[in-house]
Structure 1
Amino acid sequence: CLRASDGELAWRFRAAPTDLRLTSFEQLESAWPVHGSVLVQDGVLYCVAGRSMFLDGGLHLLRLDPETGRKISENILDDRDPHTGENLQVHVKGLNMPPALADILSSDGKYLYMRTQRFDLNGIRRYIAPTDVTDQLGEGRHLFCSTGMLDDTWFHRSYWIFGKSIASGAGGWSKAGRVTPAGRLLVVDDSNVYGYGRKLEYYKWTTPMEYHLFASDREPEIVKRAAKKRTAKLTPRQQRQQKKRQRAAP
């Protein structure tokens, strides 16, 4: 941390549990790097060190005093549900599982968020299991990306979302973008979401990559597609009887 007055070092804190290095993309990196900027809120600095809850003992979510660098608390985010002690994989639903990769933290003042994972302000994981992708409104809506806020690959099955969850797989990846604001880039204020992204009709099974600028309410009305009317299929006998009636009609 540098002093704003003269740029000199005020304090330094190693978020990693130990000074262990590895090679990544032809350079040395910590086994527990801090991803992007830290989050400062209400006099507390939050950061996450590590790569995955399944690697090297998990992630380390730290709370520090931003003025002195003093550690307030540290929570280990590993492959165990902190409430039951069971493996996170018991919460797998189809192709969806709880988030386990580190990312930039965000907050709405009541909760912290890392991808779709919600924490209380003490850094404790809440709501571990994946939720229904159509349940996007209400408490817990936040800005996130399933592949991480720093992902710049523009893979066509990933996008930024202002909501609560996302589904995976060929049949699931496009669902969130159809029921909540989503796109390559989103900006959120107190009442609206502004974005740049693909048009909804081209989300799935299409070749065109049609992009547009759009605006949406923070709490949009979710309109479900009307069910198609199904006509009963006639048996061969019923078809013959129907033809006889049609020929006999004046």
Structure 2
Amino acid sequence: MLFGSADGWVYRVRVGDGRLVWRFRAAPEERLISVFGQLESAWPVHGSVLVMKGITYFAAGRSSHLDGGIYLFGVDALSGQLRYKKKFQGPSYDINNISQNYKLPMGVLPDILQSNGELIYMRDMVFNMKLEEQELSPRKTADRVHTKGGLLDDSYFKRIPWSFGLKDSYARLIVHDENSAYFVRMFDSLRGLDPKVYFTPGKEGYLLFATDKETGKQIWKQRIPIRVNAIVVTDDILFFAGFPDVVDPNDPLGAFEGRKGGVLSACDKTDGKIIWESVLPAPPVFNGLVAANGRLYVAMEDGMVASFGKP
């Protein structure tokens, strides 16, 4: 098992007994800061690291503008030996490189890394397997999920949705398989000053739809009474979970704050028809759905994990 940690290290442990195989310090030094009531490294590593062709890739740091920047690594998955390294720092701002104050050169933010098997993506940045930055056309990088706010952004903020493909297919959460992409969103438009573009909780529900990956053409769509914050696709079924889209007059924020429990649903991924649903004691954490070895696992906000299998 390989994972990163907020302490600035990456660990490999044996699944059978948890024994440490190796650990790698991604942070340039041991410096701890207080973050939301706990101590973390000034250069944390996301728990989900990328493993590709025997190399483990990960990023450490919070921003290229802070604490010396962001450090990107590729290490041997078996031994933990360093193979590749890249650093992002700045850019610095001064009178010589700023002509207009609203056109500041942008820095770099870390994220959970993505890959198509050949290229590595960190937000809008693209690297080859040696961590050499690549300048590619949008068509070359279309077959992935683009996340303006990062893969860990759970805010549902309208102006920083996820997107997929070359067409304007945006959503709050997106998953895809070999042929199709699946989306869930609340707003039907991203226009910010249109008085007709608004969302009323507990009324029309959220839009769940599927598109063809090659053409972008919509395959099916439906409204669902769930504010989805976790979704996963399997061979035949699309699973999604969240809290119920209800507004109790006596507790208007009850669903949003987890007091109305959670809902786990499954639909046929070919036509979107609901085939199964279960009530959860608590909503799932953001992206807290995993399908593995014929079972479905749900991590919930009450600290519990539920496991589902075939009847």
TM over 0.5: yes
* 1: CA distance, partners of 2:124 / 2:86: 18
**Mapped contact 2:90–2:107 kept (Cα < 8 A):** no
Please say if 1:124 is aligned against 2:124: no
- 1:171 corresponds to: none
**Number of matched pairs:** 193
Residue 211 (structure 1) aligned to one of 202, 206, 215: 206
Please say if 1:41 is aligned against 2:41: no
Structure 2 residue runs of 5 or longer lacking an equivalent are 1-11, 92-96, 218-311
* 2: CA distance, partners of 1:2 / 1:103: 23
Q: Percent identity of the aligned residues? A: 36
> Which deviations, in whole Å up to 9, do the C-alpha atoms of 1:3-22 show, x marking residues without a partner?
12332111111110100111
What aligned pairs does 1:195-206 form with structure 2 within 5 A after superposition?
195-201=183-189, 204=192, 205=194, 206=197
Query: For residue 144 of structure 1, what is the amino acid of its counterpart?
Result: H
* 1: CA distance, partners of 2:182 / 2:105: 29
**Mapped contact 2:43–2:70 kept (Cα < 8 A):** yes
What aligned pairs does 1:99-138 form with structure 2 within 5 A after superposition?
100-127=108-135, 136=138, 138=139
SS of match in other structure, 2:67: coil
**Structure in which a larger fraction of residues adopt strand:** 2
Shift of 1:74: 1.3
Residue 72 (structure 1) aligned to one of 83, 95, 103: 83
SS of match in other structure, 1:215: strand
Residue 181 (structure 2) aligned to one of 193, 197, 204: 193
**Mapped contact 2:187–2:198 kept (Cα < 8 A):** no
SS of match in other structure, 1:13: strand
Residue 152 (structure 2) aligned to one of 128, 150, 156: 150
Structure 1 residue runs of 5 or longer lacking an equivalent are 81-88, 129-134, 165-178, 223-250
Query: For residue 186 of structure 1, what is the amino acid of its counterpart?
Result: I
- 1:3 corresponds to: 14
> Which deviations, in whole Å up to 9, do the C-alpha atoms of 1:64-85 show, x marking residues without a partner?
11111111121112235xxxxx
Please say if 1:139 is aligned against 2:132: no
Structure number with larger C-alpha Rg = 1
**Mapped contact 2:159–2:190 kept (Cα < 8 A):** no
Shift of 1:98: 5.0
> Which deviations, in whole Å up to 9, do the C-alpha atoms of 1:110-163 show, x marking residues without a partner?
2100111111111122239xxxxxx85x21122131111111122222222114
Please say if 1:183 is aligned against 2:171: yes
Instruction: Give every structure 1 segment of 4 or more consecutive aligned residues whose post-TM-superposition deviation is greater than 6 Å.
Output: none
**Mapped contact 1:99–1:115 kept (Cα < 8 A):** no
Shift of 1:220: 3.1
* 2: CA distance, partners of 1:194 / 1:112: 22
* 2: CA distance, partners of 1:41 / 1:13: 17
What aligned pairs does 1:13-32 form with structure 2 within 5 A after superposition?
13-32=24-43
